[in-house]
């Protein structure tokens, strides 16, 4: 059996895969590939249609936006992922980014290393606390709920949420007050977290119009996917102080560089898609995706089937 894998996964997971199959790193012999394992690689309709032997596509992680899911469905190729393997790691990063931009941590550190400040506790570096704030969750899925749990336990926040696929009753069971209208939720939020998949319906869901409904002192976190928050609109909103600060772990062009104009703003913080990049999550994602793919190749039913 041949399995395509071109990206880094946890070494023990790769070793387990290599014990059972031949690993190829390109699509040169695409007709003879039995499975694909990917992190961020693109799996297009063209590849799916040419891969006549393909039996399963395994996503290391959650977001399947680089896979043509319609084509996979059409060709009846199961797509599997590791839905809970990185939840906690991403949630912890979200909370870290919140603390960072509410207290200007990265900004202070960068300035300390260069010219430094003229005094301690500089007034222009006055921060805000997370404790007691209202956190608006755009998407109330696994990552958002874990982040919400950490924030509620550690900072006694109030959780509100916008997620059309979650009922009011279900949200209430999770301690989240459901809003049916995104703009209403933004108006009620001190902190806004975006944790939704990138789809046609979520692309640009936070853009110029939505920024009109942010609180002036609000902070925004997007550790989901680039393009869900429109970057031009975010740049303008941050410059015009429609909100206090923002942090993103995901960008339209990745990894982000100084070319991205958001990097010129002091009230913005960027990380290069490190949400799931912890030792713990890499072990879980790697082992789970390899085991799941090997099981499907062995004729077993997939557990975490996306389509
Ligand atoms: N930064 C990283 O490294 C990293 C790692 C893992 C996941 N992610 C991203 O985070 C996203 C969320 O992950 P998760 O594990 O919580 O997934 P999940 O499937 O548990 O949750 C996604 C939630 O989004 C909701 N949703 C879908 N469309 C929506 C819309 N139009 N409006 C509001 N809500 C909507 C769904 O109902 C669901 O509750 C992933 O899709 C992925 O893009 C990023």
Q: 97 and 218 in one domain? A: yes
Helix (H) or strand (E) holding 170: helix 168-173
Distance from C-alpha of 307 to C-alpha of 37, rounded to nearest angstrom? 15
8 in Cβ contact with 40 (< 8 Å) = no
**Parent domain of 13:** 2-85+278-297
Q: 224 C-alpha vs ligand 1 centroid, how far in Å?
A: 7
CA 22 to ligand 1 center in whole angstroms: 33
Give yes or no: residues 68 and 24 share one domain. Answer: yes
The model's pLDDT over 137-159, given as tens digits with 9 standing for 90+, comes to 999 999 999 999 999 999 999 99
Interval 32-88: pLDDT, tens:
999 999 999 999 999 999 999 999 999 999 999 999 999 999 999 999 999 999 999
Instruction: Based on the fold, state whether residues 194 and 170 are members of the same structural domain.
Output: yes
Sheet of 245-248: strands edge to edge? 176-178, 158-162, 134-138, 191-194, 219-222, 245-248, 268-270
Domain membership of residue 213 (yes or no) is: yes
Tell me which residue has its CA closest to atom 44 in ligand 1.
224
Q: CA angle at residue 229 from 276 to 82, to 5 degrees?
A: 25
Confidence at residue 84, expressed as pLDDT on a 0 to 100 scale: 97
Residue 243 lies inside a defined structural domain of this protein = yes
Count of domains forming the chain? 2
In a domain, 303, yes or no: no
Mean pLDDT score, 219-230: 98
Inter-axis angle of helices 87-103 and 279-297, nearest 10:
150
Let me know how long the chain is. 307
Do 51 and 105 have their domain in common? Answer: no
What are the catalytic residues?
Answer: 225, 254, 273
Task: Tell me the mean pLDDT in the region 215-222.
Answer: 98
Atom of ligand 1 nearest to the CA of 277: 3
Closest by CA to 133, choosing from 206, 217, 214, is 217
Nearest protein CA to atom 32 of ligand 1, as residue: 163
* pLDDT, position 27: 97
Compute how many other C-beta atoms are within 10 angstroms of the C-beta atom of residue 123: 6
The pair of structure tokens assigned to 6 is: 């071109």
Residue 77: predicted pLDDT: 98
Q: What is the pLDDT of residue 153?
A: 98
- pLDDT tens string 248-305: 999 999 999 999 999 999 999 999 999 999 999 999 999 999 999 999 999 999 999 9
Kindly report the backbone phi and psi dihedral angles of residue 87, in degrees, each rounded to the nearest multiple of 5, phi listed first.
-50, -50
171 with 288, same domain: the answer is no
Asked whether residue 34 is domain-assigned, the answer is: yes
How far does the centroid of ligand 1 lie from the alpha carbon of residue 7, in Å?
22
pLDDT of residue 228: 98
Same domain, 256 and 285: no
The radius of gyration computed from the CA coordinates of the chain, to the nearest angstrom, equals 21
The single-letter DSSP state of residue 38 is: E
- Report the residue among 139, 222, 305 best suited for mutation to probe ligand 1: largest number of ligand atoms under 8 A from its CB: 139
CA distance 99 to 276: 18
Atom nearest to 197 CA in ligand 1 = 41
**Which residue(s) pair with 206 in the sheet?**
229
- Residues 61 and 164 placed together within one structural domain of the fold: no
CATH of the domain at 93: 3.40.50.720
Q: Are strands 134-138 and 176-178 parallel, antiparallel or unpaired?
A: unpaired
Q: Is residue 35 part of a domain?
A: yes
**pLDDT grade, residue 223 (50/70/90)?**
very high
User: How far is ligand 1, taken at its centre, from the CA of residue 55, in Å?
Assistant: 26
3-state secondary structure of 110: helix
Tell me how crowded residue 154 is: count the other CB atoms within 10 A of its CB.
11
Q: Are residue 40 and residue 146 in the same domain, yes or no?
A: no
**Residues 54, 200 share a domain:** no
Cβ count near 157 (within 10 Å): 20
Of 38, 59, 62, 185, which is best to mutate to test ligand 1, by the most ligand atoms within 8 angstroms of its C-beta? Answer: 62
Per residue in 113-134, pLDDT (tens digit) is 999 999 999 999 999 999 999 9
Task: Tell me how far the alpha carbon of residue 140 lies from the centroid of ligand 1, in angstroms.
Answer: 8
93 within a domain of the structure (yes/no): yes
pLDDT tens-digit series, residues 198-207: 999 999 999 9
Question: Does residue 32 share a domain with residue 108?
Answer: no
Identify the residue whose C-alpha is closest to ligand 1 atom 8. 224
With the most atoms of ligand 1 within 8 angstroms of its CB, the residue from 38, 39, 63 to mutate is 63
In a domain, 305, yes or no: no
Identify the residues whose C-beta falls under 6 Å from ligand 1: 61-63, 86-87, 90, 138-144, 162-166, 195-198, 201-202, 223-225, 249-250, 273, 275-276
Using an 8 Å Cβ cutoff, are 185 and 163 in contact? no
User: What is the per-residue pLDDT for 113?
Assistant: 98
Give distance in angstroms: CA of 205 to centre of ligand 1: 13
Phi, psi of 182 (to 5 degrees): -60, -45
* pTM as predicted: 0.95
- On whether both 93 and 73 belong to a single domain, the answer is no
């Amino acid at each position: 059996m041949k399995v395509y894998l071109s990206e880094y996964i946890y070494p023990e997971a790769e070793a387990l895969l290599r014990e059972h199959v031949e690993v190829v790193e390109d699509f040169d012999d695409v007709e003879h590939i039995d499975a694909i394992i990917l992190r961020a690689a693109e799996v297009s309709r063209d590849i799916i249609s040419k891969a006549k032997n393909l039996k399963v596509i395994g996503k290391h992680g959650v977001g399947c936006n680089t896979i043509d899911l319609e084509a996979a469905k059409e060709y009846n190729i199961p797509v599997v992922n590791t839905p809970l393997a990185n939840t906690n790691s991403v949630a912890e990063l979200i909370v870290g980014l919140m603390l960072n931009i509410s207290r200007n941590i990265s900004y202070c550190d960068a300035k300390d290393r260069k010219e430094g400040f003229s005094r301690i506790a500089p007034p222009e570096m006055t921060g805000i606390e997370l404790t007691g704030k209202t956190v608006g969750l755009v998407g109330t899925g696994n990552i958002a709920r874990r982040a919400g749990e950490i924030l509620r336990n550690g900072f006694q926040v109030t959780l509100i949420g916008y997620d059309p696929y979650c009922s009011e009753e279900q949200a209430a069971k999770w301690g989240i007050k459901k809003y049916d209208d995104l703009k209403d939720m933004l108006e009620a939020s001190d902190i806004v977290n975006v944790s939704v998949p990138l789809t046609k319906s979520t692309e640009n869901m936070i853009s110029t119009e939505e920024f009109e409904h942010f609180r002036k002192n609000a902070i925004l976190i997007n550790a989901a996917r680039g393009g869900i928050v429109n970057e031009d609109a975010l740049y303008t909103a941050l410059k015009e102080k429609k909100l206090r600060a923002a942090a993103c772990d995901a960008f339209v062009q990745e990894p982000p560089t100084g070319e991205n104009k958001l990097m010129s703003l002091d009230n913005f913080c960027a990380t290069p898609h490190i949400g799931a990049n912890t030792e713990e999550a890499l072990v879980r994602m790697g082992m789970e995706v390899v085991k799941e793919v090997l099981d499907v190749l062995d004729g077993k039913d997939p557990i975490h089937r996306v389509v």
